[in-house]
Structure 1
Amino acid sequence: MTASRGLVLIVEDERYIADVQRLYLTREGFGVQIETDGEAGLAFVRRMHPVAVVLDIGLPGMDGIAFCRALRDADDWTPIVLVTARGEEADRILGLELGADDYLTKPFSPRELVARVKAVLRRASGPPGGAVTRVGRLSIDTAARTVHSDGEPVELTATEFNLLAHLLRNPGRVLTREQLLAQVWGYASYRDTRMVDVFVSQLRAKLGDASPIRTVRGVGYSTAGPCP
Structure 2
Amino acid sequence: MKIIMIEDNHSVCEMMEMFFQKEQWEAAFIQDGKEGLDLFLTDVASWDLVILDLNLPSMDGMQICREMRKVSKRVPIIMLTAKDSESDQVIGLEMGADDYVTKPFSPLTLIARIKAITRRAELSHDDSSGSVESTYEIETKHLKIDKKTREAILYEKEIEGLTPKEFELLYTLAKSPKQVFSREQLLSMIWDYEYFGDERTVDAHIKKLRQKIDKTGPQVIQTVWGIGYKFDDTGVE
Question: Could you tell me the TM-score, scaled by structure 1's length?
Answer: 0.89
Match of 1:31 in 2: 26
Give how far 1:216 is off: 0.6
User: Aligned partners of 2:5 and 2:157: how far apart in 1?
Assistant: 35
CA contact (8 A) 2:3 2:49 kept: yes
CA contact (8 A) 2:8 2:32 kept: yes
Match of 2:232 in 1: 224
| 3-state secondary structure, aligned to 1:136 | coil
1:145 and 2:150 equivalent?
Answer: yes
Question: Could you tell me the TM-score, scaled by structure 2's length?
Answer: 0.86
| 3-state secondary structure, aligned to 2:4 | strand
1:14 and 2:9 equivalent?
Answer: yes
Match of 2:220 in 1: 212
User: Aligned partners of 1:207 and 1:95: how far apart in 2?
Assistant: 20
Alignment RMSD, CA only?
1.9
Gaps of 5+ in 2: 128-134
User: Aligned partners of 2:142 and 2:176: how far apart in 1?
Assistant: 18
CA contact (8 A) 1:138 1:150 kept: yes
Paired residue type of 2:232: A
Q: Which structure 2 residues correspond to residues 76-87 of structure 1 after superposition, within 5 A?
A: 76-87=73-84
Give how far 1:191 is off: 2.3
- Pick closer, same or farther for the CA change 1:225–1:25 going to 2, 3 Å: farther
Give how far 1:132 is off: 3.0
Match of 1:165 in 2: 171
User: Aligned partners of 1:104 and 1:13: how far apart in 2?
Assistant: 16
CA contact (8 A) 2:2 2:48 kept: yes
Give how far 1:75 is off: 4.6
User: Aligned partners of 1:125 and 1:152: how far apart in 2?
Assistant: 27
CA contact (8 A) 1:203 1:211 kept: no
Give how far 1:62 is off: 0.2
Between 146-155 and 164-173, report the one with greater CA deviation.
Answer: 146-155
- Pick closer, same or farther for the CA change 1:224–1:178 going to 2, 3 Å: same
Match of 1:88 in 2: 85
1:132 and 2:149 equivalent?
Answer: no
